[in-house]
Amino acid sequence: MPQRKRLSKDARRIQLLDAAARLFCKSSYGQVTTADLAKAAGVTEPVLYQHFETKLDLYVALVKRAREVTFAKYEEVAAAMPTPMLKVLAVIRVHGGVMREFDPYFRLHLRALAASDMPRVRQTLRENYLAYVNYFATLIRQAQAQGELDKAADPEGVAWFIMSQGLLLNLCNQLGLTEIHEKGYIDNLLKDVLAQISLIEAPLEILGKLLPKEPAAPVADAEPLP
């Protein structure tokens, strides 16, 4: 029987986190034990403790990884766009696909709000949300500097609005509310916002040539929130 290839420390850590995400996205923090986590990852509890001293350490790392995988995908998409405004629009348009690709982490991120009475969880969630706002605000400032967006627009205000819509989409995804996708909510929203602040003509048409729309995909079955 061939020997199973031994994972590197980093690869094992990611494997443990991905397995844990699949558990925590369906159960509250208190419902999942370290024995459950080890079993889901196919390891023993001592192996789990080699990477995370406590269950809380692992949970906080999970919430951080939710941000890391999201930004990695954002950067991949943005890198293919020639201007700051198109980067923003492209990231917003692909966000639904990012949610589907990393569904356990997006479900976990919403569930983690129920565990925000724990200071470390609350702080990590705050850091995540502020990082999203800073990401979009930075691109918006760059777009203003390049003459793509009206300089009267408040970068932070627009960024907070974008993040609020991401939260709405995540919630609708988890509740199985497919209507928001079927009715073209994102593109209609972008048209309304761009009509107020865009200084270039037909930005969505330009985006469409660079980044075709994703085909509609079924939303994952909703899981009850804790």
Is residue 184 classed as helix, strand or coil in its secondary structure?
A: coil
How does pLDDT run across 24-54, given as a tens digit for each residue? 999 999 999 999 999 999 999 999 999 999 9
In a domain, 48, yes or no: no
- Return the pLDDT at 177: 85
In a domain, 202, yes or no: yes
The closest of 139, 25, 149, 22 to 92, measured between CA atoms, is 139
CATH of the domain at 154: 1.10.357.10
pLDDT tens across the length of the chain (226 residues):
345 567 788 899 999 999 999 999 999 999 999 999 999 999 999 999 999 999 999 999 999 999 999 999 999 999 999 999 999 999 998 998 899 999 999 999 999 999 999 999 999 999 999 999 999 999 999 999 999 999 999 999 999 999 999 999 889 888 888 777 777 888 888 888 887 899 988 888 888 888 866 544 444 444 444 4
In a domain, 12, yes or no: no
- Return the pLDDT at 214: 58
Query: How many domains are there within the chain?
Result: 1
Q: State the residue range of the domain holding 146.
A: 61-210
Q: Which stretches of the chain are assigned E, i.e. beta strand?
A: none
pTM of the entire structure?
0.86
In a domain, 65, yes or no: yes
In a domain, 218, yes or no: no
In a domain, 221, yes or no: no
In a domain, 104, yes or no: yes
Instruction: Give the span between the Cα atoms of 103 and 209, in whole angstroms.
Output: 28
In a domain, 183, yes or no: yes
